[in-house]
Structure 1
Amino acid sequence: MQRLVRAPNAVLAMLWSDLLCEAGMPASVQRQFLGSAAGELPPHECLPEIWLQHAEHKERALALLEELQSLPQRRWNCPACGELVEGGFEQCWSCGALMPV
């Protein structure tokens, strides 16, 4: 097994691990419950880690995670109220109108 990266939280660690597994690179999350020891241990040592089952997948896995972190975000103006809506939202946060097709 090969440690790939530390994740900032358990949610992202699980998301990244699942993405890698779906891409054919078996991965697991380690140290996901160590956050409760922060204070007794240095906080950066308590972050969850992504581990690859096969070390030869490391370069491809890092490239996939980099690609995931640099996805373009959608941006649209609400047709009902004109509010600018950013991110993955398909509904206006201000008036509730749906994103135009």
Structure 2
Amino acid sequence: MRRLAQAPNLALATLWADALRAQGLSVSVQREYLGAAAGQLPPDQCLPELWVEHDDDHARALRLLGALQRPPQRQWHCRCGEFVEGGFEQCWNCGAPMPGL
């Protein structure tokens, strides 16, 4: 097993692990509940971590995790007049899809 990364919270660690598993990687979340020990242990030692089971998958897992951590950022104007920015492909005002999709 090799460590991939620390996550800032358990929710993100779980989302990242699920996304990597969907790509066929065997990934586990460690230190899931160690946050309860914060104050007794250094805070940076209490964050959840992602680990990949097979060493051969480590490089691929890092690439996929990098893509998850840096989603594409877009800026576009919807036909309803709303300005949409971020990783959104749908207008939050009217629900229309981003032009070109």
- TM surpasses 0.5: yes
Q: Does structure 2 retain, via aligned residues, the 8 Å contact 1:76–1:99?
A: no
| TM-score, with length taken from structure 1 | 0.82
Could you tell me how far apart the structure 1 residues matched to 2:77 and 2:95 are?
A: 11
Q: Does 1:99 align with 2:83?
A: no
State how many pairs are aligned: 97
Cα-to-partner distance string for 1:42-83 (whole Å, 9 max, x where unaligned): 111000000111111111110111122222123222333x33
Could you tell me how far apart the structure 2 residues matched to 1:38 and 1:90 are?
A: 39
Give, in angstroms, the shift of residue 37 of structure 1. 1.1
- Could you say what secondary structure the match of 1:62 adopts? helix
Give, in angstroms, the shift of residue 11 of structure 1. 1.1
RMSD of equivalent CA atoms: 1.8
Q: Does structure 2 retain, via aligned residues, the 8 Å contact 1:27–1:51?
A: yes
Could you tell me how far apart the structure 2 residues matched to 1:37 and 1:14 are?
A: 19
Could you tell me how far apart the structure 2 residues matched to 1:26 and 1:52 are?
A: 6
| TM-score, with length taken from structure 2 | 0.82
1:43 alignment partner AA: P
1:26 alignment partner AA: S
Could you tell me how far apart the structure 1 residues matched to 2:89 and 2:9 are?
A: 22
Q: How does 1:55-66 map to 2 (within 5 A)?
A: 55-66=55-66
Could you tell me how far apart the structure 2 residues matched to 1:5 and 1:73 are?
A: 23
2:25 alignment partner AA: M
Q: Percent identical across equivalent pairs?
A: 51
